[in-house]
Amino acid sequence: MYALVVSRLFYLLVLYINILFMVFVEKNKSLLGLNSFNVDEIADFFVELSDKEQAIEFVKKQLPQYKNVLILGGGCNILFTKRYDGLIVRPVFRGIEIVEENEENVFLRVNAGEDWTDFVTYCSQREWGGVENLAMIPGNVGAAPVQNIGAYGVEVKDVIERVEAIELSTGVECEFANAECNFQYRSSIFKTSLKGKYLITAVIIKLSKKPVFNIRYGAVKSEIEKMNISEISCSQIERVISNIRKEKLPDIKIIGSGGSFFKNPVVQKDVFDKIIEFNSDAPYYIVDGGYKIPAGWLIDQCGWKGVRVGDVGVFHQQALVIVNYGKATGKEIYNMSMQIKADVKKQFNISLVPEVIIL
């Protein structure tokens, strides 16, 4: 009898400890302030995870009870158009550490919850090259490989060594080498075949102590001249890119936006020739697979730049950016994006593909 009582007390103690250390999951969570479009949608369930160990424990013990799961970083590059029927997981663990260093390079482990802009500044201040062209891209480090973020001739795939993650179905830690990530233009394996199957915990990034700077874009060259920069450095390039982005893009703390709404399309020669025939001054870049036409230019030619309907609009400085001027819903923003897409298709026979994830 005594043994049975002790056994039951031990069972209750273990149960109490498990409950005590369970992560608190919020119900009916407002996503206002958790997405850069600043739309007020609701998630059925929401949880923040403060470190990798807590994430592993949560994935193993609590996650299996939820049907739909979405990993949400900084909330940029995502448009909620309706209530999210499931659980949103937000990893907020931070930290940067040097894992290897030599005369040429430094290798950093950057946790998923680090702010990307802060990380770029951290590197540029130390004159470690490789990410300075990616300054002021909103979002967290964990989302960078998913989207393969890029700007001004540089993509994050150029500096990623490997990605550390947790498999959501098992809670097992794993690593993906750069080649395994299947990086493409604004895409990766985490956005395609492995979408929704892993929680990225950290990214190992290789930076150069002797950087070669990419300043071939006209806007970058012009800004360097405007700033009268004679000696190029990582910190100077970060300032250049930051200035350009401040001039062209809205401050998401003031005006809701997801950055570039559409990808820049790459078209074949026959489509390109037809555009040039009627638009000899059309901007373009020759890339593998064809000709890249700036989506912002296409949208501008269709007359959308600066248009506003209610609280939804196309930013007056950059036609590629759709903004929320106040209380626009995700559905209203989505509807305008589809009207823009239809007009570009009609005028140029080009189908724009959203860069923003639409839910």
Catalytic residues: 186, 260, 355
- Residue closest to 106 by CA, chosen among 210, 198, 222: 210
At residue 252, what is the residue type? I
Q: Are 117 and 132 in contact (CB under 8 A)?
A: no
Tell me 187's DSSP state.
B
The whole-angstrom separation of Cα 150 and Cα 134 is: 6
The whole-angstrom separation of Cα 219 and Cα 242 is: 12
Q: Rounded to whole angstroms, what are the CA distances from 107 to 143, 166, 205, 327?
A: 19, 21, 6, 43
The whole-angstrom separation of Cα 204 and Cα 78 is: 24
Q: Please state, as a whole number, how many other Cβ atoms lie within 10 Å of the Cβ of residue 281.
A: 6
- Dihedrals phi, psi of 29, to nearest 5 degrees: -85, 125
